[in-house]
Amino acid sequence: MPRNHHPHPSEVTPESVYLNRRAFIKRASVAGIGGALIAGGVVAKQRNAPRVEGTFDDELTPWETVTGYNNFYEFGTGKGDPKKNAQDFKTDPWAIEVTGEVSEKRTFSLEELIDGLTIEERIYRLRCVEGWSMVVPWNGFMLKDLIERLGPTEDANFVEFTTLMDRRQMPGQNSPILPWPYVEALRMDEAMHPLTIMVTGVYGKTLPPQNGAPIRLMVPWKYGFKSGKSIVKIRFTKRQPRTTWNEAIPREYGFYANVNPEVDHPRWSQATERRLGEFFRRDTLMFNGYEEVASLYEGMDLTRYY
């Protein structure tokens, strides 16, 4: 499609969801959903949405695959384990602690945390890479909007996200496969980039437990393990925090986890990827194709800071 193509919303979400958009917006106002339409690197021209150049050529991964083929080790290491083991996962009520280098340290309910954010219809259609790749229509809001509301201090250089620790609800946490609870973090400029979003839904529906309900991080130019799920703590720090995979296997998993086809994983090549639903592999794109984030890493040796 031409670069200036502005897709109709029905090209991004199922028509039944689009036709019921008024009800969706009403639901969004309760859940704190707002924003812009992003199509695999494109931000469509909608209201005051920022313009990002790119192409609109990615087919959506089917709902059944998005919600049934997951990495969420808290519910098991098999790709089907999260859907099977998370069905009774309780997400209401939900509290999130905000701490560290921030003007107000307190615990918020999910509703309090996102109350007051600009409410618009936002559908983010993003490429996600974990070792395979998907194109997913996430619902959410820019993390930067939340950070600006929370008011980190001048000493805040990083923001850390911690997943719920609950061995009763999350049976995978009874295994020593990883140091629990799961922790991920971003540099502050990465967190403030408009492509970094907090997800509260998918395909215009409430986010399922196996996908990280009720709220998760999504950083589309990084490998999937950077996007922490079922977040219960946000901490602003002066120094780079530990992160789970980097702590567990530092030789294989660095802090940044940027998609970089020129840096092989110690046990496999990262030069190509397989999109779920496709037979053939395709070339892996630098930063997963989101060239607009390249300026965040100017002057860095990306073979060292992997």
64: Cβ–Cβ under 8 A, 6 or more apart, which residues?
A: none
Q: Structure tokens of 278?
A: 């496709």
| Segments making up each domain of the chain, as ranges | 9-297
Determine contact, residues 211/143, Cβ cutoff 8 Å. Answer: no
Q: Is the pTM of this model over 0.85?
A: no
DSSP state of 284: P
pLDDT 10s digit of each residue in the chain, 306 long? Answer: 333 333 333 333 343 433 343 333 333 333 333 222 232 222 222 223 333 333 446 789 999 999 999 999 999 999 999 999 999 999 999 999 999 999 989 999 999 988 877 655 567 788 887 778 999 999 899 999 999 999 999 999 999 999 999 999 999 999 999 999 999 999 999 999 999 999 999 998 999 999 999 999 999 999 999 999 999 999 999 999 999 999 999 999 999 999 999 999 889 999 999 999 889 999 999 999 999 999 999 999 999 999
Q: Give, in order, the Cα–Cα distances in Å from 284 to each of 108, 223, 260.
A: 39, 12, 8
User: Please, what's the b/e burial string for 18-43 (b: 16 or more CB within 10 A of its CB; e: otherwise)?
Assistant: beebeebeebbeebbbbbbbbbbbbb
Determine contact, residues 48/138, Cβ cutoff 8 Å. Answer: no
Q: Which CATH architecture has domain 9-297?
A: Alpha-Beta Complex (3.90)
Predicted local confidence at residue 116, as pLDDT = 74
Predicted local confidence at residue 121, as pLDDT = 52
Predicted local confidence at residue 150, as pLDDT = 95
Beta bridge partners of 98: 106, 234
Predicted local confidence at residue 58, as pLDDT = 78
Helix ranges (H only) for 135-177 are: 143-150
d(Cα 304, Cα 306) in Å, to the nearest integer? 6
